[in-house]
Structures are given as structure tokens and as C-alpha cells.
Amino acid sequence: MRICLAAYNHRLAALFDNATRLLLFEGQGEAFSPSGEVHPPGHGAPPRIAAVMACGAEVLICGALSRCTRHILSDSGLVIWDWVCGDIDQVLTAWSQGRLGDLSMPGCQRKVPCCLQHKS
């Protein structure tokens, strides 16, 4: 499985549109290893959307995400975990242990219908 983390420095970007790097990881279960890094050109959501769709990721983990951007990405078949915060290592550990919900950003309510789509 290939996952993509929308990052700013060593943390998830608080806002997907501000991510300066898309970090790619391959693996299963608790074993994930780096498989690449993409630096989207320009500013805003469009170049980041294009980069995520082109990188072959199956899962996107990111901070805040607009509804429009979320629909575009989810319609492409990506599994999206948005409204997540934390250091990259912390996020990878939580993902591999099935505890990503523990890293929800302040104000995120997983009871909201759009967030229930995260659950499998």
C-alpha cells in the first residue's frame, strides 16, 4: 500500500493547500518505508491535487481539506484521512497501529457525516 502525507517541514501541513512536500511511504501493517517525495509547484490546491493523483498513492493523510478538494480526491479513488495533525513519525506510528483518530486536529468532530467516510 502506498500512502501520501501532505507535509510542511517535519509535520503534517495544517492546511493541505500549504503542504510543501508530499511524502510517500510503502508498506503494510506496521512496516512502512519511505518511497519518495514530491514538491508540488506553485501555490494552492490545484498543483497539490495533481501531484497526489499522479503519485500513485492509495491513501492521503493530511490536515484541513476543503470540501471541494476532498470530493475531487475521493472521486479519484483515494482513501482520505483529513483533519489529522502531528509529526510525520507520530502520524506513521498512529496509522500503522490503527490510532489515526487520536491525532485529530482541534475542532474536528469525527461524528460529522463527511468524517464517517474514513471508517472502513
Residue 88, domain CATH: 3.30.420.130
Average pLDDT value over all residues in the chain: 88
d(CA 103, CA 86): 7
| Structure confidence at residue 21 (pLDDT) | 96
Domain that holds residue 19: 2-116
| Structure confidence at residue 27 (pLDDT) | 85
Decide if pLDDT at 112 tops 60: no
Beta carbons within 10 angstroms of residue 31's beta carbon: 9
| Structure confidence at residue 107 (pLDDT) | 67
Q: Hunting for cell 500549504 — which residue is that?
A: 18
Number of domains the chain contains: 1
- 47 or 115: which leads in pLDDT: 47
| Structure confidence at residue 53 (pLDDT) | 94
Decide if pLDDT at 59 tops 60: yes
| Structure confidence at residue 42 (pLDDT) | 87
Q: Span 92-116, mean pLDDT?
A: 75
Cell of 45: 490546491
Q: Span 27-49, mean pLDDT?
A: 89
**pTM score, two decimals?**
0.86
Q: Residue 3 in contact with residue 61, Cβ under 8 Å?
A: yes
Chain centroid, CA 115 distance in Å: 13
